[in-house]
Amino acid sequence: MNWNINNQFTYPKSTRSIYNGSRHYMIDGERLPSVTNILQKTKSLEDKEALERWKKENKDSEIIMRESSNRGTLMHNYLSEMIMGRMNGELIEELNLPKKMAETIISNGINNYVKEVYASEECVFFPGKYAGTMDALISTNNNKLQIVDFKQKNSPAKREWNSIREYFTQIVLYAMAHNEVYGTNIQSGIILMCTPNLIFQKFEIEGQEFKDIQVEAMKRVEDFHKL
């Protein structure tokens, strides 16, 4: 393990529940909608129509989506164990696909890039607005604090795709929540992605693009609450 574990921040205990048909977090007696649900409910009409077209064109779409979701969940579990130092990836004997994908992200995206890990699978919340579970919070070798989002994709992605912008929006919302509660100044994030055939990709958001998405993201939060 080439990085340190830093327990500087204390994250809240939370419970998840379904309220009015949507996933919510209960934190300190406050019920807050999840980031994932907010983004799902406020998707653009274009994105919704594209998903419906894909489902119609792929008769096995439900199976594909279910298998992809299960694979992603397992990959996330392995990554959380590895980056928190609870599992040595090099000693894993039974290398199934999600483990191989996790190993690929560790070797290509974590090693030699991450200096410290502050959190993995921890809940963050913006009081009165939303809550969510971030994949990881790290600092880079040049001391830049970043939200990390781990993703599995069935095929390589392009940065200009709407799906990548949605992932960036998710990162920005986590960063805004962390900044609000802990007084941090997170202004960048990265997506570390792997396909089932072990193609690795990294996408980073920072600077003006990060600031622009902040405005857009908070508008979507407000739109959700108006619903």
Query: Parallel, antiparallel, or unpaired: how do β-strands 188-194 and 145-152 relate?
Result: parallel
| Residue 197: domain span | 4-226
pLDDT score at 141? 86
CATH code of 20's domain: 3.90.320
pLDDT score at 43? 86
DSSP calls for the chain: --SEE-----PPP-EEEEETTEEEEEETTEEEEBHHHHHHHT--HHHHHHHHHHHHH-TTHHHHHHHHHHHHHHHHHHHHHHHTTS--GGG-SS--HHHHHHHHHIIIIITTTEEEEEEEEEEEEETTTEEEEEEEEEEETT--EEEEEEEE-SS---TTSHHHHHHHHHHHHHHHHHHHHH-----EEEEEEE-TT--EEEEEEEHHHHHHHHHHHHHHHHHHHH-
Distance between CA atoms of residues 99 and 74, nearest Å: 8
What pTM was computed for the model? Answer: 0.89
Count up the domains in the chain and report the number. Answer: 1
Encode the chain (227 residues) as per-residue pLDDT tens digits. 789 999 999 999 888 877 777 789 999 889 999 999 999 999 877 776 666 776 777 777 777 778 787 888 899 999 999 999 886 545 445 558 999 999 999 999 999 889 999 999 999 999 999 999 999 999 998 889 999 999 999 899 999 999 899 999 999 999 999 999 999 999 999 999 999 999 999 999 999 999 999 999 999 999 999 87
